[in-house]
Amino acid sequence: MLFKNVYVLILCIGFMLSQTYYSIDQFIMNPEMEMSARGNALGKTGLMKDDNAFWVISNPSALTKLEGLNISFSGNLSRYKEHRSVRVNDSFGGYTADASYVFNDNNFNYYAACLSYGVSDVLALGLAYHPYYSYGYNYIEPVHDASYDLNRDPLVGYHKENFSGDLSSITTAISYKMYGISFGFNYNKIVSETIKRNRVVEVISESNNLASPTVYNDTLSYKFSDESFFSFGLTTNILRNLVLSFSITESVNLEINGDSNNLGNYKIPSKTSFGFELKPRQEIPASIIFQYDNQNYSNLDISSLKDAWFINNSDEELNYYDKETFHFGIEIDNNKTPLRFGMVYENSIFQRDLDNAIFTFGIGKNINNLIIDLAANYSSLNYSYVDSFIPENNLSNPDSFEKITETNFDMMLTISYKFKF
């Protein structure tokens, strides 16, 4: 039972904004809504380009740039599409085609609110509430039975899996500026809902293609401990047209509790970020933004989870690499209606040809003290993975792979208002 609980736990931990389920990086937590639509549209460069109260989360050191009282609200719509197929061989074992058998389409919504107040030219405070990680996912697989009667492909049942629950964060921040350098510090308190996974095998008629010969319905629940962590950063103008920012987020150790027992701990590694914004002196007012993130997975010890999660045999050694993410963005300010474009490139911590590229774009509108920002991003990932529901007729070959294509499309709207006193 512990094996099964840990297996489910690891499957759940990675459901985030991109909602990837079977990805090799699935247990790597990536925060939800840690930036506004402006930073999102610019290659997810929230460290450099939020320019609103979301800096409480993404870069507290930059809060001294904001005057007066600033309020920001964000809503996010994420659409995750999943296509799965299996290899089809001829009677001689040769490859003929890929047979598609699963098409899943999931939609998720998230909301966040941030508040900042410039006490003076050198001191600012902030408060935020936002989703930290989300675990929403729905998987439905119709199961057919190949036969040679008049009904060649009858429906014999369904494989279903559902995950629900969220981690949220309450964040407070303070920023102080001296000698031309702004220093920032935030405190994050994680609040966990109960995370649930429901796994079902529906049987319409008996078939070896089903993962169970009888109806199966199992629900597991667990909850993360309410932990806290800190972030520290600094921001400075090296030149009039060049801004530099740097931040460090400490690691956090989450205790995982099941229905009646402790399932162990999961450690989110520390994160280091560096970025700059350059405003070339041109006729068209534009900004070039770069940001680099590094999460220290190379020193992460999750060997105890290997047998419960990894796709190959349990004797294979797992080597982890730091997760490096490169962010690029360009903003063109066109008469208070800025156009934004960006790209994100991130590697897999297993270096298994699963590097991912995300393309971002967006637009903004300034109406006096009201600022409206809209962002969208798109990514697609292809890889192979084992079947989550191994059919009865294939138990002797549990490592049979199938092809999976994940497509993610996200839209975010941020509305900000500046009260100047």
Residue at 302: amino acid letter: I
Q: What is the structure's pLDDT at 391? A: 74
Residues 185 and 171: their CA atoms lie apart, in Å, by: 10
Region of residue 92 (phi > 0: left; psi between -120 and 50: alpha; otherwise: beta)? alpha
Closest alpha carbon to 49 in 376, 293, 249, 287? 287
Closest alpha carbon to 378 in 18, 15, 14? 18
Domain count, the chain: 1
Q: pTM score, two decimals?
A: 0.83
Q: How many helices (H) and strands (E) does the chain have?
A: 5, 20
What φ, ψ does residue 65 adopt, rounded to 5°? -75, -20
Higher-pLDDT residue of 241 and 14 is: 241
pLDDT tens digits, 5-45: 433 333 333 433 333 443 333 444 455 678 899 999 999 99
| Angle value at C-alpha 384, between 383 and 387, nearest 5 degrees | 135
Query: For position 173, which CATH number holds?
Result: 2.40.160.60
Is the CA virtual torsion 204, 139, 413, 287 positive or negative? negative
What stretch of H or E contains 40? helix 37-41
Q: What is the structure's pLDDT at 305? A: 43
Residue 334: which domain range? Answer: 2-419
pLDDT tens digits, 342-400: 999 998 776 666 788 999 999 999 998 999 999 999 999 887 777 777 776 665 554 56
Residues 30 and 289: their CA atoms lie apart, in Å, by: 21
Whether the pLDDT of residue 122 is over 90: the answer is yes
Region of residue 238 (phi > 0: left; psi between -120 and 50: alpha; otherwise: beta)? alpha
Residue 64 DSSP class: G
Q: In what order do the strands lie in the sheet with 155-164?
A: 137-144, 155-164, 194-203, 216-224, 252-257, 262-268
Longest alpha-carbon distance in the chain? 83
Q: What is the structure's pLDDT at 373? A: 95
What stretch of H or E contains 177? strand 166-178
Q: How confident is the model at residue 308 (pLDDT cuts 50, 70, 90)?
A: very low
Per residue, what are the HEC states of 73-140? EEEEEEEEEEEEEEEEECCCCCEEEEEEEEEEEEEEEEEEEEEEEECCCCEEEEEEEEEEEECCEEEE
Q: What is the structure's pLDDT at 281? A: 73
